[in-house]
A and B are shown apart, each in its own frame.
Chain A
Amino acid sequence: MENSVIKIKDLKKGYKNFELSIPELSIPKGFATALIGENGAGKTTLLNILSGIRLDYNGEIEYFEKYSSDEIEKKPEIKERIGYTGTDNYYLPTWTVDQVKEISKLLFEKFDEGAFVKYCNDLAIFGQGDFDGKKKVMELSDGTRTKLMLAGVLSRETDLLIMDEPASPLDPLMRDKLCEMIRDYLNSGEGKSVFFSTHNISDMEGVTDYAIIMEHGKIVEQGFVEDLKEKYIAVKGEPGDAEAAKKILYSMTSSNYGFEGICLADDLDKLAGLDVVTETASLFKISVAVMKKNSLVR
Chain B
Amino acid sequence: MELTGWKCFKAFAYRNYKIASFVAAVIMAAMGAIGGFYFGSWAIVVVGAVITMFVGFLDYCCISEFNRSNRGCMNFVRSSFFAKSAVEKYIKADICFKTITLAPGFVGCLATSIVKGGVFPCLTGFGLFLGALFFLIAFVRNKCLSINVNMVVLEFGLMFATAVLIGIMLLMQLAEGAGFGLMAGPGFTVLSAVFAIAGGKTLYRICLKNFEAGYRPTENL
Where the two chains meet, the residues of A that have a C-beta atom closer than 8 Å to any C-beta of B are 15-18, 48, 51-56, 73, 75-76, 78-80, 82, 84, 86, 88-94, 99, 102-103, 105-108
Q: Is the CB of B80 within 8 A of A107?
A: yes
Known contacts being A88-B71, A89-B72, A90-B72, is A106 close to B215, with CB within 8 Å? no
Q: Is the CB of B75 within 8 A of A107?
A: no
Q: B179 within 8 Å of A by Cβ?
A: no
Contact of A15 among B14, B15, B76, B221 (CB under 8 A): B221
Chosen A-B contacts, 6 in total, with CB atoms closer than 8 Å, are: A53-B79, A56-B215, A56-B216, A73-B84, A79-B79, A106-B11
> Which residue of chain B lies nearest to A80 when distances are taken between CB atoms in the complex?
B81
Q: Is the CB of B79 within 8 A of A51?
A: yes
B89 to chain A, nearest CB (A): 10
Contact of A86 among B16, B72, B80, B81 (CB under 8 A): B72
Q: Which of A18, A48, A78, A103 has the most CB of B within 10 A?
A: A103
Q: Is the CB of B78 within 8 A of A53?
A: yes
Q: B3 within 8 Å of A by Cβ?
A: yes
> Which residue of chain A lies nearest to B82 when distances are taken between CB atoms in the complex?
A107
Question: Which B55-107 residues have C-beta < 8 A from chain A?
Answer: 65-66, 69, 71-73, 75-84, 86
0 or 1 for each of B191-221: is its CB under 8 Å from A? (1 = yes): 0000000000000000000000001110111
What is the predominant secondary structure among interface residues of chain B facing chain A? helix
> Which residue of chain B lies nearest to A15 when distances are taken between CB atoms in the complex?
B221
3 closest cross-chain pairs (CB), A and B: A90-B76, A107-B80, A90-B72
Q: Which of B71, B78, B83 has the most CB of A within 10 A?
A: B78
Q: Is the CB of B8 within 8 A of A106?
A: yes
A199 to chain B, nearest CB (A): 19
Where the two chains meet, the residues of B that have a C-beta atom closer than 8 Å to any C-beta of A are 1, 3, 7-8, 11-12, 14-16, 65-66, 69, 71-73, 75-84, 86, 215-217, 219-221
- Chain B residues within 8 Å of A105, by CB: 1
Known contacts being A48-B75, A76-B82, A86-B76, is A54 close to B215, with CB within 8 Å? yes
Q: Which of B69, B83, B84 has the most CB of A within 10 A?
A: B69
Contact of A94 among B7, B14, B77, B216 (CB under 8 A): B14
A159 to B60, CA, bound (A): 40
> Which residue of chain A lies nearest to B217 when distances are taken between CB atoms in the complex?
A56
B216 to chain A, nearest CB (A): 4
A84 to B66, CA, bound (A): 21
A76-B82, A94-B16, A106-B86 known, 20 other contacts, Cβ within 8 Å: A15-B219, A16-B220, A18-B221, A51-B79, A52-B79, A53-B79, A54-B215, A56-B217, A78-B81, A79-B79, A79-B81, A89-B69, A90-B75, A93-B69, A103-B11, A106-B1, A106-B82, A107-B80, A107-B82, A107-B86
A56 to B219, CA, bound (A): 10
A145 to chain B, nearest CB (A): 10
- Chain B residues within 8 Å of A52, by CB: 78-79
Q: Is the CB of A106 within 8 A of B76?
A: no
Contact of B3 among A53, A80, A106 (CB under 8 A): A106
- Chain A residues within 8 Å of B15, by CB: 94
- Chain B residues within 8 Å of A93, by CB: 69
Q: Is the CB of A91 within 8 A of B76?
A: yes
A269 to chain B, nearest CB (A): 45
A89 to B8, CA, bound (A): 20
A102 to B66, CA, bound (A): 19
> Which residue of chain B lies nearest to A79 when distances are taken between CB atoms in the complex?
B81
Q: Is the CB of A17 within 8 A of B79?
A: no
> Which residue of chain B lies nearest to A45 when distances are taken between CB atoms in the complex?
B219
Q: Is the CB of B76 within 8 A of A79?
A: no
